[in-house]
Amino acid sequence: NAMLGMLGGGQLGRMFTIAARAMGYRVTVLDPDPESPAGGLADVHLRAAYDDPAALDELAATCAAVTTEFENVPAESLRRLAERTRVSPSADSVSIAQDRIAEKRYIAGAGLAVAPFLAIETAQDLEQDLSGHLPGILKLARLGYDGKGQIRVATVEETQAAFAQLGQKPCVLERRLNLKTEVSVIVARTGPGETTTFPVAENQHEAGILDISIVPARVAPAVAQRARDMALQLAEAMDYRGVLAVEFFVLGGDELVINEIAPRPHNSGHYTLDACINDQFEQQVRTLCGLPPGSTRLLSPVVMVNLLGDIWRDDEPAWDKLLSLPNAKLHLYGKKTARIGRKMGHFNVLGDAVDSTLAQALELKRMLQNP
Ligand code: ATP
Ligand code: MG
Ligand code: MG
């Protein structure tokens, strides 16, 4: 009945907590927010900042192992914890994923493709020839998510204005690519030879936010296999411990380019909750505890649809239609306030074939939007 520690109390921490408790562990969540989705479910909720020395010492003293649910936890906190308890992923792995410049350099250095990019750290960096990277997207190197901190630019002048608008903080300028589609792979790795990948998800975004994931991805089997191989290759190169999400762009000729990574379970892996023997949070528990990752076998085609605060009106949406279906599963994150663009939950629809399942999921989504 060991205690596991989780840095961060969002929905990913909540789903980790549910998995850990089902597997017989207790959980301590560190999150300053008294209403965090995971805090209320945890055995212990430490309400303190992620770099609070006393809270970190308590985690180290009481937890057999500690992990994180978001990449922006200070790498220094992970280093401090790792002196006294088991920590995965490592501070080094997390710090790569925290910074788009380090991330892209690392991935390219591992021999894997990334979108053509330039590091823009100062205004001077904008004086070089940008033409090979325009039209492009200027992205903050740190702290962006759901498409926040990104500006589309077509000219040098627009790039300069965007850099100023982003506060002249370090950025990458990425060439805008023609995407055939986007896919992602979740890897779980305990150590050498103890690695699994989940089936490839096909991801569709709306306004920069993941909207739906379709599994199996509608790409050629060879493309799916290549994505899994590339994700594995990256995890091996990093000697990664834990759950790693790898986002890919699929280009016109079925070329695969790594977009970004996340050192944790990922929204595009929520389909595993209902459609795989082990879900991504169970893998997070297993890898954290030094156990080999479990089977990732897909039990049926599945479509995951995100539920954003946009469809919460005065009250939460009526779930009766969704709940009356024999093949749909609702997951809500227990957030008290709904806001536009805020992830409040998701649902999974399971079916016999991917196209009919997608059609059913889209119909449900439409009904929830326009009751
Ligand atoms: P996340 O919430 O996944 O962390 P993020 O804010 O880190 O999102 P990215 O993954 O960099 O953002 O980009 C968000 C989306 O914008 C991508 O999934 C893709 O649809 C589009 N996009 C990003 N970069 C490019 C590019 N170079 N060319 C074309 N489309 C792009
Ligand atoms: Mg990101
Ligand atoms: Mg992304």
Probe ligand 1: pick from 114, 259, 264, max atoms within 8 Å of CB? 259
128-149 per-position pLDDT tens digit: 999 999 999 999 999 988 888 9
At the fourth CATH level, the homologous superfamily of domain 116-175 is: ATP-grasp fold, A domain (3.30.1490.20)
Residue whose token pair is 């926040």: 148
Share of the chain above pLDDT 70, in %: 100
Can you give the pLDDT at residue 141? 97
Domains in the chain: boundaries? 3-87, 116-175, 179-369
The pTM assigned to this predicted structure is: 0.97
Q: Does domain 179-369 have CATH number 3.40.720.10?
A: no
- In tens, the pLDDT along 3-23 reads 999 999 999 999 999 999 999
pLDDT of residue 145: 84
Q: What is the DSSP string of 171-235?
A: EEEEEPP-EEEEEEEEEEEEETTEEEEPPPEEEEEETTEEEEEEES-SS-HHHHHHHHHHHHHHH
Domain 3-87: give its CATH code: 3.40.50.20
**Which of 150, 166, 181, 185 has most ligand 1 atoms within 8 Å of its beta carbon, as the pocket-test mutant?**
150
Is the confidence metric ipTM above 0.90 for this complex? yes
Give me the DSSP letters along 300-365. S-EEEEEEEGGG--SSPPP-HHHHHSTTEEEEE---S---TT-EEEEEEEE-SSHHHHHHHHHHHH
Question: CA torsion, points 290, 55, 53, 32, in degrees to nearest 10?
Answer: 110
Atom of ligand 1 nearest to the CA of 144: 6
